[in-house]
Amino acid sequence: MTASDKRLLISAPGKVILFGEHAVVHKKLAVAASLGLRTYLDVTENTSGQCHLKLPDVQVDAAWPLSQLDIAVERESLEQQHPSDMPDTLKQQLETLMGETTSVAQKQAVMAFLYLYIILKNEKGSSSSNFGLVIRARSTLPVGAGLGSSASFSTALATALLMVFGHLPEAFATSEQKDPAWLETINRYAFKAEQVIHGNPSGVDNAVATFGGALSFRRGEGFSQLEGCQSLRLLLTNTKVPRSTSALVAGVGAKKQKYPAVVDPMLDAIDGISLRCVEVFKRLQTGEMDTHKVTAELEELVDINHCLLHGLGVSHPSLETVRSVTETHGVKTKLTGAGGGGCAVSIIRDDISEETLNVVTKELQTHGYDCYQTSLGGVGASASILRDIQDEAWIESADRHTLEKLVARP
């Protein structure tokens, strides 16, 4: 990327766990898929001699002279280390650059940016630019709702910096087909950013954000891309009820230890649901099942999976309220993520009208919940070259529809 009248729009999706929550902790299969809700980065170069990072979602507006970011590092050693094991000297330098941050979210986001910037700018063969850089971010994902907002940001950020410093070719933005090696590179650095933010993430969220579509995963075995996953309509409901993932996971573990003859078969049943989902997508791809049959079967699996999770003690009255409201209108719903509050996901059949969805949404909103109509299984990390936008801060006021159209265009 060189300074010119063009700019980049980078984006990456959030994720939803379709099946396998909690059971995955006990080495059962889980299925996750990308969402239509995304994080967007507007990237421009200029002659300011500064690097400017604007993250309005977490109230970050920071700028550094390029000379302050010219820090020499041993890339190979950093590649092999967890970010928490970086040399003390580098850690002190990055903390100094980070300056005053008033929240954990701000600290994590800025540190992830600085860490990737330093690694990629110093990587052997990188085309370091003498021009200033401005990155503005915007997300349509709710933060902290279990929908992969941090991984979406990490993946978009990694993609942006890889392109800025010449590790990804311009063809990544112009080619319809993405070279798998490009995506593997993005995923590797997105995982590094996720490690900065979360410490020891599973890597699933950034993989979904990078590759898009759906994937299955099992602890200790990595993940597999699911062929045949197609775009499905979803209604996501954020109850905004806070919960402790670690406490919920520990609760299921305690039940398993106390009632192994009861809980083990429940976990096996959840494993079977995930396996059935994989099979359904395969049958869709081969033509053995059509879209109507796939949606109908996914609805049944959603219902069964939620009931099992409820039996494991990880539902919440707010989630049962969402289930009750949507069930009244013929829409199947399950909790997604850790449970205990958080988000619910509803499968929207093609015969569910917009009018019905509006009624459901309004009723859920009367309970104080936030609702998002979106899609399942869309594209992963994406880049577009923009040549016709002059407004410097356009992304801060652009609506979601405009952003989605820009991502879709060649």
SS3 call for 108: helix
Indicate the DSSP class of residue 366.
Answer: T
Q: Tell me what pLDDT residue 367 has.
A: 97
Indicate the DSSP class of residue 25.
Answer: G
Q: At what angle do helices 104-122 and 180-198 cross, to 10 degrees?
A: 140
Contact present, 403 and 138 (Cβ < 8 Å): yes
CB proximity list for 121: less than 8 A, separation 6 or greater: 69, 70, 128, 165
231 is catalytic: no
Set 11, 34, 150, 346: catalytic member: 150
CA distance 263 to 252: 9
Encoded tokens for 13: 């999706």
CB atoms within 10 A of CB 62: 19
Set 205, 216, 274, 315: catalytic member: 205
- What are the structural domains of the chain? 6-226+380-408 (3.30.230.10), 232-376 (3.30.70.890)
Indicate the DSSP class of residue 69.
Answer: G
Q: pLDDT tens for the chain, 410 residues: list them.
A: 444 456 889 999 999 999 999 999 999 999 999 999 999 999 988 888 889 999 988 888 899 999 888 888 877 778 778 888 888 888 899 888 988 777 888 889 999 999 999 989 865 444 455 678 899 999 989 877 889 899 999 999 999 999 999 999 999 998 888 899 999 999 999 999 999 988 888 888 999 999 999 999 998 888 888 877 767 889 999 999 988 888 999 999 999 999 999 999 999 999 999 999 999 999 988 889 888 899 999 999 999 999 999 999 999 999 999 999 999 999 999 999 889 999 999 999 989 999 999 999 999 999 999 999 998 888 899 998 887 676 667 777 777 777 776 665 54
φ/ψ region of 166 (left if φ > 0, alpha if ψ in -120 to 50, else beta) reads left
150 is catalytic: yes
Q: Please tell me whether the overall predicted TM-score, pTM, comes out greater than 0.85 for this model.
A: yes
Q: Fill in the amino acid letter for 12.
A: A
Q: Tell me what pLDDT residue 79 has.
A: 77
Contact present, 336 and 32 (Cβ < 8 Å): no
Label the pairing between strands 50-55 and 30-46.
unpaired
